[in-house]
Structure 1
Amino acid sequence: MRDEPLRKLGFLTIGLFDPADPRAGHESTLEIIKLGEDLGFDTAWVRHRHLQYGISSPVAVLAAASQRTSRIELGTAVIPLGWENPLRLAEDLATVDVLAGGRLNPGVSVGPPMNYDKVRSALYPHTSEAEDFSYGRVEQLLSFVRGEPATDFAGTEGFEVFSNRVEPHSPGLGNRMWYGGASLRSAQWAGENRMNFLTSSVVKAEEAEDFAEIQLSHIQTFRAHHPDGDRARVSQGLVVIPTDSAGEEQRRRYQAYVEKRTPRTATPQGPARMLFSIDYVGSSAQIAEQLRAHAAFREVDEVAFALPFSFEHDDYVQILTDIATKLGPALGWKPSA
């Protein structure tokens, strides 16, 4: 058990917006990321939502964020690769990483797109039956990001000069690729393929029905199969809602939000037996005590606490401020300059 002080503190947002005024929601997300940098957070992560009222293009949003920040690392948690062409995505990721000065942390996952039967004709009108949604899609993306050849041609045709690899190439990006996994198989695969590992508030109940025990087994499996062993990077994502500086009305809403979501944490859900973590609400001292008793938390020194989906901008300001000024320090973290 590592049980070390928290080294990297991050947060994750879904970036909700009103379809009648989408710019306001996207601006709010950018302001929250800038606030995170000002508060000393190490990382800011955005979720990915298709055909919903959340961020559908995290790479574009992080490109904008890269021009409003100078230090904070920017990540995706996660890009579902079933919606992506690996070569084109590699170009976009490398471009943003260059613009950000090497601060991008792309997180990805595989599997068929959500509601595939409903979107396949729009997404892959001619190739829906042939698409490969396996780990092979990640392997292809990794090879492009790491600078391996994408074609057997390089040289000059007329006035055009061609490269045989994805351009621009950002040399450090390959070491900052993350896999978002919820199963033992994914944890092992991510380790074997030298990725970093994102473990979130949802896991597959395979060997047990205790969330912390399951998450711990995923972290240990990942590191057991990674060349870096115990030094392999893992970031844990849980929902935390500190209430230190919250008003009474905020506290009531926060508690109602948690109570509404709590029943799904009691037992594994659905045929896939997905198990949800509880949401942590209360003072920073109370949350810190709960986290220090969490077997998986004691195994990591990086976190990306998830902001609740449906709160208001001012709520996120209060929560982030309390995390940075009270909860983080209570866990041994020190803000970045």
Structure 2
Amino acid sequence: MPPLSEPLRKLGFLTIGLFDRENPRAGHESTLELIELGERLGFDSAWLRHRHLQYGISSPVAVLAAASQRTRRIELGTAVIPLGWENPLRLAEDLATVDLLSGGRLHPGVSVGEPMHYDQVRQALYPDTGDAEDFGYERVRRLLDFVAGEKASDQGGTEGFEVFSERVEPYAPGLIRRMWYGGASTRSVLWAAQNGMNLLTSSVVKAEGEPAADGSFDFAGIQAEQIRAFRAAHPEGARARVSQGLVVIPTDSATPEQRARYEAYAAQRMPRTAVPQGPGRLLFAPDLVGPSAQIAERLHAHAGFREVDEVAFALPFTFEAEDYVQILTDIATSLGPALGWRPSGLTAAQ
């Protein structure tokens, strides 16, 4: 077995929050129950993916507002909000509001880029300004400035009976230090570092550098290099926060039927890990399926994992609620401890 990595300090999970078209409330409620379970199991954080015009959570900030009232300790994050769909000023208002409601537990993760399938949604999303919208890093910079309390308006003071502020209100102290960027390329992680953000790195990176002799790329090696580049450029250096989000499926307490389904899921997705995908040359990490001891051994040998001390393991997209309960329970009770993690704030019932 390879030498152990540093003990895992923070353990989180990430879910897409699927729902049925004809009964969307049930899926949203199931996601809230999953976050509550995560807190009871001692997880440090729960993160929501973001989906537009699909059957996954389209408004994670609203869902996390609800979660903030049903939990007391667990950190609540977004991984990630695609800013091409958002107005930075309005989003800053929502983020600050939820952060205050949660008692300072919100961890917003964002990314840039043109909205997915932009030609199909442009007319609905930006009917008058579609060609003028900036989907680059400046959109993130505007959001960061608003979150930090920078000037948003020339109108301040009293007008009649109304009082106006020059900054976004409410203001949430400390939120600016909890802003994360979802980066998959060296260019993006360097921008995040230079702008003082935390880094979310996932099971997807951009295939950079030269391939091996057989034409393959080393996902773990690329991810490790990006993390090291991020910290080298960050004002906080080695203390800059990085969270890794691989797809991890422990099977310790799974039924034979669940194990077979999990293995089939991973096998179906395995071909995309062999070569870079699409014009963006995206490289996907294999899903890790098996007993916790086996997964822990693979993680200890993973160059990217060895660079971090916090994770937000991604739950598969298409499983059932009982599958997620089993997976989360095994992560908290078997895999996490095998990685040196200790649960936080367990209730007496646990």
Residue number among 240, 252, 255 corresponding to 1:232 in the alignment: 240
* AA at the equivalent of 1:38: R
Provide, for residues 158-200 of structure 1, a one-character-per-residue CA deviation record: whole Å limited to 9, x for no partner: 0000010000000100000000000000010000000000000
CA contact (8 A) 2:34 2:325 kept: yes
CA contact (8 A) 1:77 1:106 kept: yes
Residue number among 317, 329, 332 corresponding to 1:324 in the alignment: 332
1:130-141 matches, within 5 Å, as: 130-141=132-143
Query: 1:2 Cα deviation (Å)?
Result: 10
CA contact (8 A) 1:82 1:113 kept: yes
TM-score (norm 1): 0.99
For residue 171 of structure 1, what is the aligned residue in structure 2?
A: 173
For residue 256 of structure 1, what is the aligned residue in structure 2?
A: 264
Provide, for residues 256-311 of structure 1, a one-character-per-residue CA deviation record: whole Å limited to 9, x for no partner: 00000001001111121100000000000000000000011011000000000000
* AA at the equivalent of 1:311: F
SS in 2 for 1:77: strand
For residue 130 of structure 2, what is the aligned residue in structure 1?
A: 128
CA contact (8 A) 2:88 2:143 kept: yes
SS in 2 for 1:107: strand
Provide, for residues 101-130 of structure 1, a one-character-per-residue CA deviation record: whole Å limited to 9, x for no partner: 000000000000000000000000000000
For residue 218 of structure 2, what is the aligned residue in structure 1?
A: 210
CA contact (8 A) 1:2 1:299 kept: no
For residue 6 of structure 1, what is the aligned residue in structure 2?
A: 8
User: Structure 2 vs 1, CA of residues 109 and 46 (structure 1 numbering), >3 Å: closer, same or farther?
Assistant: same
Provide, for residues 190-226 of structure 1, a one-character-per-residue CA deviation record: whole Å limited to 9, x for no partner: 0000000000001100115100011011101111110
Matched, 1:333 2:335: no
1:85-124 matches, within 5 Å, as: 85-124=87-126
**Structure 1: gaps of 5 or more residues:** none
**How many residues get paired?**
337
Give the Cα–Cα distance (whole angstroms) in 2 for the partners of residues 92 and 325 of structure 1. 35
For residue 190 of structure 1, what is the aligned residue in structure 2?
A: 192
Identity of aligned residues (%): 76
* AA at the equivalent of 2:180: W
For residue 181 of structure 1, what is the aligned residue in structure 2?
A: 183
Give the Cα–Cα distance (whole angstroms) in 2 for the partners of residues 272 and 120 of structure 1. 21
Matched, 1:293 2:301: yes
SS in 2 for 1:45: strand
* AA at the equivalent of 1:275: L
SS in 1 for 2:65: helix
CA contact (8 A) 1:78 1:108 kept: yes
**Structure 2: gaps of 5 or more residues:** 211-216, 346-350
For residue 18 of structure 1, what is the aligned residue in structure 2?
A: 20
SS in 1 for 2:46: strand
TM-score (norm 2): 0.95
Matched, 1:219 2:212: no
User: Structure 2 vs 1, CA of residues 2 and 20 (structure 1 numbering), >3 Å: closer, same or farther?
Assistant: same
Residue number among 33, 41, 44 corresponding to 2:43 in the alignment: 41
Matched, 1:307 2:309: no
* AA at the equivalent of 1:261: R
Give the Cα–Cα distance (whole angstroms) in 1 for the partners of residues 136 and 251 of structure 2. 42
SS in 1 for 2:337: helix
Query: 1:153 Cα deviation (Å)?
Result: 2.1
* AA at the equivalent of 1:319: I
Residue number among 277, 296, 304 corresponding to 1:269 in the alignment: 277
CA contact (8 A) 1:2 1:300 kept: no
SS in 2 for 1:63: helix
SS in 2 for 1:125: coil
Q: CA RMSD, aligned part only?
A: 1.0
SS in 1 for 2:51: coil
